[in-house]
Amino acid sequence: MKLQKAEKLKSGAYRIRLRLGGKTIFVHGATEAECRRKAQTIKAEHMSGKVTQKVCPYTTKEAIDKYIAAHPKLSPSTVKGYEDIRDNVFKSARSLKLDSVNWQSAIDSDTHAPKTVRNAWGLISSVMRFCDLTPPQVALPQMVKKERQFLDEKQIGTFIAALRGKKIETAALLGLHSLRRSEILDLTWDDIDLERGIIHVRGAAVIDKDGKLVHKSENKNASSTRDVPIMIPRLRELLSQGGEGYIVNYRPNAMYIQINRECKKLGLPEVGVHGLRHSFVSLAYHLGWSEVATMRVAGYADYQTMRKIYTHLSEQDRKKDIGNMESFYKNFQ
């Protein structure tokens, strides 16, 4: 029986695309052989006219566990996230068979934030497809758009001046160079090339299901593996001191807490670690960097994400321009 070649996914699992009766069906398997066996069975049943009602023998909890086990290349933080969803979201569905749950009712009765519910449904949909079930059409809660806090060019100057000599200084300055929290925590002294003025971003440190920090060689995505120029003289000065092992030794949440503590003292927006990354984008926009240049240094994989930030910043400038014009005309009243 002729089938398309099984596609290996980033997770390590396999997928075959079938086109049956004018519909596209994706068949998943932990191995290529398992994926092909499933696809052959489904295609044979279709060709013979046999209609098989798919039945899932697993509860929602068991199905999520099977899905996690079949994807051994998932990062520790992703596994932790999936297990958090399994244990805390759609609790009424955990002990029910995956294919017997009224998912719209489960979604409507869940009390978590809209983003959490939407993320949980994304996992459930993937698990259902993994079990050869078709996810139902559901209505998900609307998300209220929340703008990410960041420091503007004047606030950045105030912030870095106040940090001088403090323990959090190096971590914060790395954040202002666009590095994510996971990238800051994985950075070693061997990743610093002072002669060329380069920070080699080559890995990430994430929290596993046991709350331990795990270092991995892969970044969030391919574009995140990048070389970042050292642009703040004070950071070059700090890095020139040298050392061994990891440059920043912090519990992940400790960085967030200390950065916000300093921001609060200064009367600045409490941006946390990720807000410093957005502050880098804000400053790049202010200095006239192109979106392509900003994406390259910051390691954005999605142009749309970058575009949303730049569009937000340009809207702020537009409002400022309107205000300036209004002020101009007030002189003629």
Q: Is 296 exposed, middle or buried (0-12, 13-18, 19+ CB in 10 A)?
A: middle
pLDDT value for 145 = 64
pLDDT value for 49 = 65
Domain ranges of the chain: 7-47, 60-130, 153-321
pLDDT value for 11 = 66
Q: Are 26 and 38 in contact (CB under 8 A)?
A: no
pLDDT value for 224 = 82
CATH superfamily of 153-321: Intergrase catalytic core (1.10.443.10)
pLDDT value for 124 = 95
pLDDT value for 281 = 87
Q: Are 57 and 63 in contact (CB under 8 A)?
A: no
Can you tell me the distance from the alpha carbon of 39 to that of 148, in angstroms, rounded to the nearest whole number? 44
Q: Are 264 and 282 in contact (CB under 8 A)?
A: no
Which segments in the chain show pLDDT lower than 50?
Answer: 51
Token code pair at residue 298:
């910051």
**For the chain, what percent of residues have pLDDT higher than 70?**
88
CA 220 distance to own-chain centroid: 7
Tens of pLDDT, residue by residue over 201-241, are 998 888 877 778 888 777 666 678 899 999 999 999 999 99
Find where tokens 């994510």 sit. 180
Angle in degrees, 0-180, between the axes of helices 272-286 and 291-298, rounded to the nearest 10: 150
To the question of pTM greater than 0.75 for the whole model, the response is no
Written in H, E and C, the secondary structure of 138-167 is CCCCCCCCCCCCCCCHHHHHHHHHHHCCCC
Tens of pLDDT, residue by residue over 43-80, are 887 777 654 556 688 999 999 999 999 998 888 888 88
| β-bridge pairing 204-207 and 23-29 | unpaired
Q: What's the distance, Cα to Cα, between the start and end of the chain in Å?
A: 83
pLDDT value for 19 = 78
pLDDT value for 9 = 77
How many helices (H) does the chain have, and how many strands (E)? 13, 8
